[in-house]
Amino acid sequence: MNKLLVILIALLSSLNIAYAQGNISVGKAKSKLCSTCHGVDGNSTSNLYPKLAGQDAAYLLKQLQAFKSGTRANLIMSAMASRLSEQDMQDITAYYASQTMKQKNATIIKSTISHDLYIDGDQQRQIIGCGRCHGPQGNGLALAGAPKIAGQHGAYLASQLISFRGGRRNHLPKALASDLSDQLTDSEIEQLSEYISTLY
């Protein structure tokens, strides 16, 4: 299991890209169109769209580049990213990275099953715990390119895990999230996503 973790981190690290520092104040002005879905400060109020506030800038930049190149498919985001220059993307991602994610008031009883699956995974099914890459509190691992997922909308997280499982989100090496989510049931994805949404 430890060897697999080392391989995962190495693969993630190879995906992490160097980027020039963006300008936060310029990025705020450029992000006005983004605010319709993602909120003025990156705290989307709709669970259809991810919160971007406090996310690692390099990760956000990589996603915008993937949307622009077409390696990550989404009609809305591909259209938005197609209009952005590399500097635009660096400025916008610097702005969102500088913001603070708003946590929801957690009234969900945290399931022991979801906690154990997040932290330890399931050895019998060879599922590595999400926390191995995303951190025990879901704050991400920037050096490995693993995003912050704590406090993210549960419904959005579930939709992404289902997309990985169905092969619709396949811009990452198959050995990563898609392999892990392939073995999760709908119920596990729902419970795990809700659990992650309560982390901070």
Are 192 and 118 contacting, i.e. CB atoms less than 8 angstroms apart? yes
Q: How far apart are CA 129 and CA 115, in angstroms?
A: 9
- Per residue in 135-155, pLDDT (tens digit) is 999 999 888 788 999 999 999
Domain covering 18-98, topology: Cytochrome Bc1 Complex; Chain D, domain 2 (1.10.760)
Mean pLDDT of 99-107: 79
Token readout for 15 is: 């995906």
State the CATH class of domain 2-9+104-197.
mainly alpha
Decide whether 2-9+104-197 matches 18-98 in CATH topology: yes
Write down the domain spans for the chain. Answer: 2-9+104-197, 18-98
Give the residue among 130, 124, 128, 144 at the shortest CA–CA distance from 197: 130
- Per residue in 186-200, pLDDT (tens digit) is 999 999 999 999 998
Q: How far apart are CA 52 and CA 45, in angstroms?
A: 11
Q: What does pTM read for this prediction?
A: 0.82
Q: How far apart are CA 154 and CA 152, in angstroms?
A: 6
Angle at 130 between CA 127 and CA 135, to 5 degrees: 145
Q: How far apart are CA 171 and CA 159, in angstroms?
A: 16
Model confidence band, residue 107 (pLDDT cutoffs 50, 70, 90): low
Which has more pLDDT, 68 or 3? 68
Mean pLDDT of 175-182: 62
Q: How many other C-beta atoms can be found within 10 angstroms of the C-beta atom of residue 40?
A: 13
Among the listed ranges 47-56, 79-88, 93-102, 127-136, which one has the minimum average pLDDT value? 127-136
First to last CA, the chain: 27
